[in-house]
Amino acid sequence: MLMKLILTRHGETEENIAGILQGHMPGKLTINGEEQTKKLAQRLTAYEVDIIYSSDLDRATKTTKEIIKANPNPVVYFTKELRERYLGVYQGRHSDEVDWNNQPSDIETLQQMQNRIKNFLQKIYNKHKNKTILFVTHGAIGRSLITVILGKPADIIFEMEKIKNTAIYLFDIKDNLSGKVIINNCDKHLL
């Protein structure tokens, strides 16, 4: 059985523009980010989404709320399991100010993040086979999800292509959580 999974990242935030590491911070959509979410919402009307799972962080919930204005039929769940990677003391700091080679112990490791998203994907697959599911999430956790689907190790997460704000991926997911990429990081709705 196949589950169709659409993955998207929240709209652009002020912190994205400033190079601030957000982690579990709420984040504030820019005016451009708000426009991106409206265009994303319109694009998603082309898909018959059954269920939306969204990160419960503000930048993702605002994106999701815009999506459901144009797509009112899906059931929507806000969940901590789709939150961005937890960055501990690095949250709120500029990306140039942190030492990724000597990370503090309060940061979620790449393996922990991959395990979190793999367990969540397994739970969703078991619950919603033969459905079309939308995940509204964040950059690092989104790339981590892609490594799970492609069967790649956690240590290459940041070698994966960066997910553009409101870009979509579409996957056909099989029983073993492996998947076929149908659409890859597409943001043509923003043109």
Q: What is the mean pLDDT of residues 134-141?
A: 98
Among 10, 24, 66, 108, which one carries the catalytic annotation?
10
Report pLDDT for 183: 97
In the predicted structure, residue 1 carries a pLDDT above the cut 90: no
Instruction: Kindly report, residue by residue over 122-136, the tens digit of the pLDDT.
Output: 999 999 999 999 999
**For the CA atoms of 107, 113, 116, 119, what is the dihedral angle to 10 degrees?**
-160
Residue 189 is among the residues annotated as catalytic for this protein: no
What Cα–Cα distance (Å) separates residue 40 from each residue in 21, 33, 63, 125?
A: 24, 10, 9, 24
Q: What is the mean pLDDT of residues 21-38?
A: 98
Instruction: Kindly report, residue by residue over 38-63, the tens digit of the pLDDT.
Output: 999 999 999 999 999 999 999 999 99
Instruction: Kindly report, residue by residue over 57-107, the tens digit of the pLDDT.
Output: 999 999 999 999 999 999 999 999 999 999 999 999 999 999 999 999 999
Backbone angles phi, psi at 172, to 5 degrees: -100, 120
Structural domains of the chain, with CATH = 3-190 (3.40.50.1240)
Among 15, 66, 81, 84, which one carries the catalytic annotation?
84
**Mean pLDDT, all residues of the chain:** 97
